[in-house]
Amino acid sequence: MSEPSSIHVADYDPDWPRQAATAIDALRAAAPGLFVEIEHIGSTAVPGLAAKPVIDLMAAVHDLTHARPHQAALAGLGFHPHDNGMTDRLLYVRADSGVRSHVLHMVSLESWPTRNQRIFRDYLRAHPEDAARYAQLKRVIIVVGTTSGEYARAKTTLVQELTDRARAQLGLPSEPVWEKR
């Protein structure tokens, strides 16, 4: 699946957590025993934050090779493997009616506690002023005509700043937020 040609940032939808919970329940039922942890991450997981209307989920597994026997079950839920250049995870994308609706990041259990996406989400939940800065940046990126392929890169400086702050509060060293090769 290719990236959409245009991006859309929507005001927060209070239904996003329900959509994430429904997907999490379906994933656990379809692939019993695969997921050790699974959470709603990304901007749709931060109350009040404007976001691309795509539900991001992150799941920890004991070993990424354990996913292969569950490929058909994941596909039955509409989650298909996707390569976007991230090398430390398996990525699955679900598109409802041809429009990306969910992304599942499958990572190792060992890496779970220090995953930037989870740390960043928790930081934004606890710091609404920084969440507002982030939302404003996203809207500016769209207004200036940034393409979908450049959207994530255009947010990187602020995301790195806030993630570094969050990691420091947890006593963790800085780790790059840009993960694509």
Domain extents in the chain: 16-169
Q: Please, which pLDDT band fits residue 42 given cuts at 50, 70 and 90?
A: very high
Q: Which CATH number fits domain 16-169: 3.40.50.10470, 3.30.950.10, 3.30.460.10, 1.20.1580.10?
A: 3.30.460.10
Average pLDDT, the chain: 93
- The per-residue DSSP string of 114-140 comes to G-HHHHHHHHHHH-HHHHHHHHHHHHH
Mind listing the pLDDT tens digit for each residue in 70-127? 999 999 999 999 988 888 899 999 998 889 999 999 999 999 999 999 999 999 999 9
Give residue 145's pLDDT band: very low, low, confident or very high (50, 70, 90). Answer: confident
Q: What is the torsional sign of CA 86, 116, 123, 35?
A: positive
